[in-house]
Amino acid sequence: MKNIVITSEPLNSQLCINSVADNGSGGLVVFIGNVRNKTKGKEVKYLDFEAYEAMALKEMQKIAREAIERWHLYDMAIHHRVGRVGIGEAAVVIACSSAHRKESFKACEFAIDTLKKTVPIWKKEVFEDGEVWVSAHP
Amino acid sequence: MKIQIIAFGIAKDIVGKKQMTLDFEGKSVGEVRTCLVNRFPEFEQLASLRFAVNTSYVDDSFELTENDEVVLIPPVSGG
């Protein structure tokens, strides 16, 4: 599926949007997950993402397929970055299109929520004085 | 039984390497879990630890065969 991408290059959100555009679509929703400069008040230097790529692509495809079917989307694209990602840069871009806006809003939220639960990608927050794997501990 | 373990994220830090051979008693994923927790007690501190075989999640009752590749999936945090 060409719309499901994992890359160590900076993400191009316009490319992701263009890949789901359709003349029959009256609503296109895009979610961009960016790297924040702070976590719990502590300054973050950058994030480092690691993926189990073969399985992550498969799980991302599953999400897109389910969303397309459930909300009758024209299309959905999910692009995820790996490696070192700087403050303010996009870690994930999700775009989807449907005849009307409501379906795409719902589908886009479903996609990012599910991605965070099922896709085998991990982020490490790197601070001035150490690093932490996010969500590893309860 | 001997299997290959592949570790990502914090699991890689806990076992100290990306890949290792594990010789364990039994044949199920649950028994692999028990063996790993005994050997590396830090696994018990994690919010969760899931396993994958052939790029799919498997549960503890899944039966392995010799030389299977079992991937350790600590809590995911993409996005």
Closest partner residue to B79 (CB to CB) among A115, A133, A138 is A115
A134 assigned to some structural domain: no
Measured between beta carbons, which residues in chain B are less than 8 angstroms from residue A123? 77-78
pLDDT at A1 over 80: no
A110 assigned to some structural domain: yes
Number of domains in chain A: 1
Residue boundaries of the structural domains of chain B? 2-73
A137 assigned to some structural domain: no
pTM, entire model: 0.96
The DSSP bridge partners found for residue A5 are A79
Measured between beta carbons, which residues in chain B are less than 8 angstroms from residue A48? none
Least confident of A1-5, A108-112, A132-136, B19-23: A1-5
- How far is the first Cα of chain A from the last one, in angstroms, to the nearest whole number? 35
The CATH number of whichever domain residue A108 belongs to comes to 3.90.1170.40
Q: Do the Cβ atoms of B56 and A55 come closer than 8 Å?
A: yes
Residue B42 confidence (pLDDT): 98
DSSP SS3 for B7: strand
A107 assigned to some structural domain: yes
For residue A76, what is the enclosing H or E element? strand A75-81
User: What's the average model confidence in pLDDT over B33-45?
Assistant: 97
Per-residue pLDDT band for A26 (boundaries 50, 70, 90) equals very high
Tell if the CB–CB gap between B79 and A52 is shorter than 8 Å.
no
Mean pLDDT (chain B, rounded): 97
pLDDT in tens, A68-88: 999 999 999 999 999 999 999
pLDDT at B29 over 70: yes
Domain, as residue range, for A25: 4-129
Measured between beta carbons, which residues in chain B are less than 8 angstroms from residue A92? 78-79
Residue B79 confidence (pLDDT): 96
Q: How far is CA B72 from CA A47, A52, A116, A130, in A?
A: 21, 10, 17, 24
Residue A2 confidence (pLDDT): 87
* CATH class of segment(s) B2-73: alpha beta
Express as a percent the part of chain A with pLDDT over 70.
Answer: 99
Measured distance CA(A79)–CA(A47) in Å, rounded: 17
User: What's the average model confidence in pLDDT over A44-60?
Assistant: 98
Q: How far is CA B28 from CA A27, A56, B58, in A?
A: 48, 24, 10
pLDDT at A131 over 90: yes
A82 assigned to some structural domain: yes
Closest partner residue to B73 (CB to CB) among A120, A123, A135 is A120
Longest Cα–Cα distance of chain B, Å, equals 37
